[in-house]
Amino acid sequence: MSQSLSWKRKDLIDVEPLSRAEIETIFTAATAFKRAMEADNMKQPYLNGRTVVNLFLEPSTRTRLAFEVAASRLSADTITVTGAASSLTKGETLRDTARNMEALKADIIIMRHSASGAPNYLSKVVDIPVINAGDGAHAHPTQALLDSFTLLEKFGSLDGKNITILGDILFSRVARSNIICLQKLGAKVTIAGPSTLVPKAFEATGVRVCHNLKPALEDADAVMLLRIQHERQTATHFPSIGEYTSSFGLNKDRAKWLKPGAIIMHPGPINRGVEIDSELADSSQSVILQQVTNGIVVRMAILHLCSCAYHQQAIELPK
């Protein structure tokens, strides 16, 4: 079925350049794919004959698997290349690696890299679509989009909703992308955690900064928990994990500060007993597993839209 949707971008590097209308276009496509999936219509033909390369040069489970499943559900052939299995370990440049993939007739490259800006650089040296699956502490656009999609399923609209992001904001690409995406959709964002990980400088982005957990939770329609990004920290930003948990971990007592109907989110991986108690992670308030499922359909939408833009094809969606 042909839809009256417009999408002109062959790459998805960040949410910042996206308009609200473009974000809603992604969600329209994701909704169509989710309805088809729920009707047990799992396989779609839109990338049949295409080859999608997952170039994951940083560890990943959920994001890599979700992209693999999304590409497969669109009937693409998928190849996953990790850092240890690539010629980058032999001194080959990222540019040459990508250009060789293009010469091998890859149709889309999905990239995760520890260096901020790497996917943007890649999009300048290859002609085919490049999708950012997370770059350093810079951006994780598909995670932010699936998080907002999950929130919209719950609330219908994010205009005026209060969303609290709790945890390691300073080193989190998920936090940066979510702040931008949520604000574009009309939400009010609070960031909370210790002052060493949630500096006041973030107020310049239009968020509320809280170093006291209770006010950060009391008016929240949703709380999004983030793990401590040990792999990106070059110094100790709090005395111990135990002290972080005692001050900022979400437990049953602190969850009582949340208003009725508030939901709990986490992009994973979860450090149970650190940023969240296991009981809360598995509770009826939690939408953590819904986020994982929505990660498939949102990424299906992005792959499909970017492929259509690159090939200048009309956007078709499942009936």
Would the pLDDT of 103 be above 80?
yes
Spatial contact of 108 and 50, defined as CB atoms under 8 Å apart: yes
Would the pLDDT of 116 be above 90?
yes
Per-residue pLDDT tens digits for 296-307: 999 999 999 999
Residue with tokens 């790497």: 118
Would the pLDDT of 1 be above 60?
no
The pLDDT score that the predictor gives to residue 244 is 85
Q: Residue 263 phi/psi, 5° resolution?
A: -115, 160
Per-residue pLDDT tens digits for 135-194: 998 999 999 999 999 999 999 999 999 999 999 999 899 999 999 999 999 999 999 999
Q: Taking all residues of the chain, what is their mean pLDDT, rounded to a whole number?
A: 93
- Residue positions in the annotated binding site? 62-63, 90, 112, 140, 143, 173, 227, 268-269
Would the pLDDT of 232 be above 90?
no
Would the pLDDT of 87 be above 80?
no
The pLDDT score that the predictor gives to residue 123 is 96
Per-residue pLDDT tens digits for 46-64: 999 999 999 999 888 999 9
Predicted model pTM: 0.94
Please state, for a pLDDT cut of 90, what percent of the chain lies above it: 81
Would the pLDDT of 233 be above 60?
no
- Residue positions in the annotated binding site for L-aspartate? 90, 173, 227
- Residue positions in the annotated binding site for carbamoyl phosphate? 62-63, 112, 140, 143, 268-269
